[in-house]
Amino acid sequence: MPALLQLDRVTRRYALPRRSLLRAPAPLTAVSNVSLTLARGETLGVVGESGSGKSTLARLAMGFERPDEGAVCFDGKDLARLSKPELKALRPRFQMVFQDPYGSLDPRRRVGWSVAEPLRVLRREEPAVIESQVNAVLERVGLRVEDARKYPHEFSGGQRQRIAIARGIVTSPDLLIADEAVSALDVSVQAQILNLLMDLRDDMGLGLFFISHDLQVVSSISDRIVVLRQGEIVDDGPTDDVMFRSRNAYTRSLMAAAGWRAARDGQSAATDR
Ligand SMILES: Nc1ncnc2c1ncn2[C@@H]1O[C@H](COP(=O)(O)OP(=O)(O)OP(=O)(O)O)[C@@H](O)[C@H]1O
* Model pLDDT for residues 158-206, shown as the tens digit of each residue: 999 999 999 999 999 999 999 998 988 888 899 999 999 999 999 999 9
Give the whole-angstrom CA distance, residue 179 versus residue 129: 29
Nearest to 236 by CA among 32, 88, 48, 16: 48
**pLDDT band of 240, cuts 50, 70, 90:** very high
Nearest to 57 by CA among 178, 165, 197: 178
- pLDDT of residue 54 exceeding 90: yes
Which residue from 7, 16, 52 has its CB within 8 A of the most atoms of ligand 1, so it is best to mutate?
Answer: 52
Provide the pLDDT for residue 261.
52
* Domains, the chain, ordered by start: 5-13+29-263 (3.40.50.300)
**Biggest alpha carbon–alpha carbon distance for the chain:** 62
**pLDDT band of 270, cuts 50, 70, 90:** very low
**pLDDT band of 256, cuts 50, 70, 90:** confident
Q: What is the number of the ligand 1 atom nearest to the C-alpha of 31?
A: 14
Provide the pLDDT for residue 267.
47
Tell me the β-bridge partners of 176.
95, 208
- pLDDT of residue 66 exceeding 70: yes
Q: Does residue 14 have its Cβ closer than 6 Å to ligand 1?
A: yes
Q: Does residue 271 have its Cβ closer than 6 Å to ligand 1?
A: no
The share of the chain scoring above pLDDT 90, in percent, equals: 71
Beta strand ranges found along the chain (DSSP E): 5-14, 28-38, 43-48, 69-74, 77-78, 94-97, 175-179, 207-212, 224-229, 232-238
The share of the chain scoring above pLDDT 70, in percent, equals: 93
Q: Does residue 56 have its Cβ closer than 6 Å to ligand 1?
A: yes
- pLDDT of residue 271 exceeding 60: no
Give the whole-angstrom CA distance, residue 218 versus residue 251: 13
Q: pLDDT tens across 86-140, in order?
A: 998 999 999 999 877 666 688 899 999 999 999 888 777 788 989 999 999 999 9
Q: What is the number of the ligand 1 atom nearest to the C-alpha of 213?
A: 25
Mean of pLDDT over the chain: 89
- Separation of CA 55 and ligand 1 centre (Å): 7
Residue 77 in contact with residue 90, Cβ under 8 Å?
yes
Q: Does residue 48 have its Cβ closer than 6 Å to ligand 1?
A: yes
- Separation of CA 51 and ligand 1 centre (Å): 5
Q: Does residue 52 have its Cβ closer than 6 Å to ligand 1?
A: yes
- Separation of CA 258 and ligand 1 centre (Å): 22
